[in-house]
């Protein structure tokens, strides 16, 4: 089935996946009242960037070289998201006595600290990031986001790097 999907169609699917995942995060925040920790917010940002890159690829509909550029930008955003999600999973796996202390909220940090310091504090994570608030089939939300980053990134590379059908047939 994936052999029949064109890169443009795949990027449209990726846009829909990223929008759905972001929508699910917003649903959990505003309907289920699961407040996001700083690492959750960075993971949302990664999905927004991935979706934006994919949307640009759909609109632009570039040739082979452009598809490669869009796919590598998409994969770079997926890798960044996977790194944040991996850090989040690691924090959630720590024993309670090793969990970092909770720090100030993201809004407070953005208003009172330089951006470089905010980014380092956010990526370090805190006690709120170690708290498991949601599970599905035994996996936490950061575990699921990690799987989505990996899956979307790998499929994107595969779809865009395979030979085009016309060249494969010899036309």
Domain ranges of the chain: 2-163
138: left (phi over 0), alpha (psi -120 to 50) or beta: left
Based on C-alpha coordinates, what's the Rg of the chain? 18
Give the model's pLDDT for residue 23: 95
Q: What percent of the chain has pLDDT over 70?
A: 79
DSSP string, 127-165: HHHH----EETTEEHHHHHHHHHHHHHHHHHHHHHSPPH
Q: Tell me the pLDDT tens digit for each residue of 104-135.
A: 566 666 777 777 776 666 655 554 666 778 77
Residue 64 per-residue DSSP state = H
Q: Which residues, in sequence order, are CB contacts of 123 under 8 Å at separation 6+? A: 39, 42, 84, 87
CB of 85 within 8 A of CB of 149? yes
CATH class as words, domain 2-163: mainly alpha
| CA 73 – CA 91 distance, rounded (Å) | 27
Q: How many C-beta neighbours within 10 Å does residue 13 have?
A: 17
Question: Who has greater pLDDT, 54 or 169?
Answer: 54
Residue 167: pLDDT band by 50, 70, 90 thresholds? very low
Q: Tell me the pLDDT tens digit for each residue of 39-53.
A: 888 899 999 999 999
Question: Who has greater pLDDT, 128 or 151?
Answer: 151
Q: Tell me the pLDDT tens digit for each residue of 88-104.
A: 888 888 777 766 665 55
Residue 125 per-residue DSSP state = -
Give the model's pLDDT for residue 104: 57
Quote the pTM value.
Answer: 0.80
């Amino acid at each position: 089935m994936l052999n029949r999907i064109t890169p443009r169609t795949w990027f449209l699917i990726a846009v829909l996946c990223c929008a759905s995942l972001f929508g699910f995060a917003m649903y959990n925040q505003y309907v289920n009242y699961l407040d996001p920790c700083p690492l959750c917010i960075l993971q949302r940002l990664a999905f927004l960037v991935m979706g934006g890159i994919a949307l640009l690829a759909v609109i632009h509909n570039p040739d082979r070289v452009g598809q490669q550029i869009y796919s590598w930008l998409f994969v770079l955003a997926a890798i960044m998201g996977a790194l944040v999600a991996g850090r989040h999973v690691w924090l959630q796996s720590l024993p309670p006595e090793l969990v970092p202390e909770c720090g100030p909220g993201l809004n407070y940090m953005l208003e009172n600290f330089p951006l470089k310091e905010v980014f380092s504090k956010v990526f370090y994570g805190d006690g709120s990031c170690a708290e498991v608030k949601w599970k599905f089939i035994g996996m936490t939300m950061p575990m699921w986001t990690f799987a989505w980053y990996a899956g979307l990134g790998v499929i994107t590379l595969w779809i865009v790097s395979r030979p085009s059908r016309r060249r494969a047939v010899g036309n």
